A and B are shown apart, each in its own frame.
Chain A
Amino acid sequence: MDQEATTEYGPKWSDQRVERMLGALVCGVVALLLALIVTVFVHAWPSFAHNGLAWFSSGGSVEDQLNAISLSAQTSGEYVYTFHAWPLIWSTLLITGGAVAIALVSALFVAVFIVEFAPEWMSNILQPVIRFLASVPSVIYGLLGVLVLVPFIGNHLVTEHQKASVAGVISLTGYSLMAAVLVLTVMIAPLMVSIFSDGLRAVKPGWLEGSLGLGVNRWRTTWKIGVRSARPAIVAGTVLAVARAIGEAVMLAMISGSVAFAPNPADGLIFVYEPSRPLGPTIVKNIDQLSSPPFNATLFSIAAVLLFSAALFSLAGWAARRSMRKYLMP
């Protein structure tokens, strides 16, 4: 085999050639991403063009608008594009924000625990556990949510009185903001933990030792020196988790409830029991309408918003990390 190597890698596999081939492949992948972005926005354009900024506003029932859009394609008249997505956006904001906030705090504690304070046996258990939680398919989380958590919330947490108080508006069955936030937290926290703990492990030991040498206890050293120096990793992990949370569609389609309703925190704590439907699940639930042109544009406009916000978060994360260059490990 080795004797052939010289001929095998002769002119046919010369370096220039290999470099050009690999380079072409790389360019192809970059082009694919560009094509994706362009395609999504081009297909989304009719919806944005007809609605303007009103796309992001509230007004009317989203369900009625979606029905009108699908009806307009069947009755051969003018296509209707009117779509005011605020309830969906608000639901996305609430669910993503809630889950990321809870996950950020708990992931930080767990990462600190794994890296600094857990006894050897404990971190040997925790690390595979975190990896396992991160790799459970979202549909399994969704199934457990819909068969365990949702009935529990509906039967035990929501009181009859609360159900009666909103009976005219919406029915509280357990498909709720709370279920969605809790399950989403369990989904994204492991992701954060693994990135945070990588960052904490990379903190220069000298910095920690310096603090310990000054007589600061290990707890405060970890938080004041370790966690602060690991800030780039914390930003990176959070950005990734936010992107995952925004884009989560199937699990939320299963447990957030399928009404486009905007829970209002001003109503008191009952809003956590109210159902809603974020952007991603709206696509999944209406995917069979994809072949009707106005509906297609509407679904793609939702996708465009998802894509844009995911990109925006990566950009924000990149900018935040840039300003923290001084913490980067050599």
Chain B
Amino acid sequence: MTPPMENQTLTVPPVPPPDQADPPGAHQRKGAVEGSATWSLTDRIGLAICWGLGLLFCAIAVAIVVYLMIQGIKFLRPEMLWTPAAAGFSETETGGFSDAFIGTMIVAGIGIALALPTGIAIAVWLVEYGRPATLARITESTIEAIAGIPSIVLALFGTVIFSNAALGFLSRSSEGVVFGRSFFAAGAMLSLVALPLIVASVREGLNSIPRHVREASYAVGKTKAATTRRILLPTCRPQVATGAMLGLGRIIGDTAIIVVLLGATQNFAPVEGIGFPLDYLRGAGTTLTNFVYEASPTGNLNQPQKAYAAAFVLLLMVLALNAAVDVVHRRARKVGTWSH
């Protein structure tokens, strides 16, 4: 077992283990024992700065949501969600961003489908097996390192992997030259973005299950694998869900990997000559983040109104994920507690 600081650098909002919901220091923090009236002036100024910055952060968040909501309601037309982008001279002629919207879903699906099993497996190995200890330490550092790799570097690495001739079946290839840009490529690289969050969250969940639960299971003759599958993983379902949703948030919010590995087109570019789902997945495409980037004044399309509309949709997705994480947290806190 590692000291708790080792995985602190991975940002996962803490799901307090139910038994620690009321830490020993809580009484001191809840009941305001002492007002600031007796403090010296500098201390009171400091407290005022605290309030000011706290309110500033709230104001920024409110401003972002309200501003995007106003712009979104002004410019978002429902039909944009099912009209593909088209070439045109004014914003009324250029269609919507249905391809980007569906693209976001596809990328999120592929990314999470790869990252979730891998993340759970790594977390299980780290907590339940973790031998030899050197490998465990290396793995921890690896996960931490992956969390720190800039996504643009991951994207460039992806171009090397997926333009490899051996992986030509994952993207478009013509005359031996592999294009290297496809939903598969982008999804695979995005799964690396989500992986550290999932590992950290599941690990935290597994670590919070007391030893005696495992021992009880071994005592009735279950193997370690069966215990993990039947008891430990079901128990830390909230943390698995949290990790998955945090990872999902990072996947749908990432732009650099999409720009590099999915292509700068605003429409699906399916590969001809193969069956239905594969032709789209192997082809280039776009996502909402890419659409916002291209439609912003610095991008190639320069359609700020569409950019606002797409950004609003993206923000709604992020808000929904945040709300879902909150619900899972609250439910996890209510549901059964392990007694030590």
Asked if B124 and A132 make an inter-chain contact with CB atoms under 8 angstroms apart, the answer reads no
The number of residues on chain B lying at the interface, defined by a beta carbon within 8 Å of a beta carbon of chain A, is 102
Asked if B5 and A328 make an inter-chain contact with CB atoms under 8 angstroms apart, the answer reads yes
Asked if A143 and B151 make an inter-chain contact with CB atoms under 8 angstroms apart, the answer reads no
Asked if A131 and B322 make an inter-chain contact with CB atoms under 8 angstroms apart, the answer reads yes
Q: CA A264 – CA B309 in complex, angstroms?
A: 38
The number of residues on chain A lying at the interface, defined by a beta carbon within 8 Å of a beta carbon of chain B, is 111
How does the 8 Å CB contact mask read for A11-37 relative to B, with 1 for contact and 0 for none? 001110011001101110110110010
Q: CA A84 – CA B94 in complex, angstroms?
A: 41
Question: Which B residues are CB-close (under 8 A) to A288?
Answer: 264
How does the 8 Å CB contact mask read for B141-169 relative to A, with 1 for contact and 0 for none? 01111111111111011011100000000
Binds A, one of B80-88, B252-260, B273-281: B252-260
Q: CA A55 – CA B248 in complex, angstroms?
A: 38
Q: Does B133 contact A (CB under 8 A)?
A: no
Asked if B222 and A5 make an inter-chain contact with CB atoms under 8 angstroms apart, the answer reads yes
Asked if B293 and A250 make an inter-chain contact with CB atoms under 8 angstroms apart, the answer reads yes
Binds B, one of A66-74, A121-129, A158-166, A265-273: A121-129
Q: CA A131 – CA B53 in complex, angstroms?
A: 16
**Number of A-B pairs, beta carbon distance below 8 Å:** 288
Asked if A26 and B149 make an inter-chain contact with CB atoms under 8 angstroms apart, the answer reads no
Question: Which B residues are CB-close (under 8 A) to A209?
Answer: 25, 28
Where the two chains meet, the residues of A that have a C-beta atom closer than 8 Å to any C-beta of B are 5, 8-9, 13-15, 18-19, 22-23, 25-27, 29-30, 32-33, 36, 39-40, 43, 106, 109-110, 112-120, 122, 125-126, 128-140, 142-144, 146-148, 186, 189-191, 193-195, 198-199, 201-203, 205, 208-209, 212, 217-220, 223, 232-233, 236-237, 239-240, 243, 246-250, 253-255, 258, 280, 283-284, 287-288, 290, 299-300, 303, 306-307, 310-311, 313-314, 317, 321, 328-329
Where the two chains meet, the residues of B that have a C-beta atom closer than 8 Å to any C-beta of A are 3-5, 8-9, 11, 13-14, 23-25, 28-30, 32-34, 36, 38-39, 43, 46-47, 49-51, 53-54, 56-58, 60-61, 64, 67-68, 118, 121-122, 124-126, 129, 131, 135, 138-139, 142-154, 156-157, 159-161, 192, 195, 222-226, 229-230, 246, 249, 252-256, 259-260, 264, 289, 292-293, 296-298, 304, 307-308, 311, 314-315, 318-319, 321-322, 325-326
